[in-house]
Amino acid sequence: MARRDISASRRFWVKALGLGLLLPASGLAAVQTAFAGEQRFSAISVDTKPLADKGLSGYAARITKVAQPLVAEVFADRLAPNTPSAPRLVIRIDSIQLGSSERQRMPFSIGSSNDLDWISGAGVVTDAHGKVLHVEPIETSAQAFGGSTADILAVEALRTQHLITVLAQWIHQAV
């Protein structure tokens, strides 16, 4: 029988209960909605400054261009652009590492269990004035996949897009 991960729901109820003791009943519903992943954002943007700070400004610009539509798609259900007082979300991308695949010669093969791509970043929630309200750091990996050596740039682009989507999905669940 598969084990069900209840840690996220347990954390929700512990937070809700703890804050419920501190807030009047009318405020508890708003807190529960926020913790349940129902928080709406007036704007969602991508920050690749950590990549640029490492001397990778051209790469950072390309990642921003690729990431913005991917992040917008993941957070489409949480965007409330007509609510300027709603918080804003910044998806910060700190690093991307593409693992080497020993199976690069086989078109779109799945590598061994050691062939992982990594991405680290954070979901940064700010108020309408830019004050940071919450930072949710995330580091995650995905299985590396290869392609023909003639298509190495296309495969690298697909792997990068996949990592950005995975990061955005984790942040979607966390904030």
Domain ranges of the chain: 1-38, 40-174
Look at the block and give the residue holding tokens 């700190």: 94
**Top-level class of domain 40-174:** alpha beta
pLDDT of residue 147: 65
Nearest C-alpha neighbor of 144 from the set 112, 119, 105: 112
Contact in structure between 66 and 164 (CB atoms under 8 Å): yes
Nearest C-alpha neighbor of 47 from the set 154, 125, 99, 142: 125
pLDDT of residue 148: 62
Q: Which residues of 128-159 are buried (b: 16+ CB within 10 A; e: fewer)?
A: eeeeeeeeeebebebebbbbeeeeeeebeeeb
pLDDT by 10s per residue, the chain, length 175: 344 444 444 444 445 444 444 444 434 344 444 444 579 999 999 999 999 999 999 999 999 999 999 999 999 999 998 998 999 999 999 999 988 765 544 455 454 446 889 999 999 999 989 999 999 999 999 888 776 666 777 888 899 999 999 999 999 999 9
Contact in structure between 44 and 91 (CB atoms under 8 Å): yes
Sequence-distant (≥ 6) Cβ neighbours of residue 134 within 8 angstroms: 123, 124, 125, 175
C-alpha R_g of the chain = 19
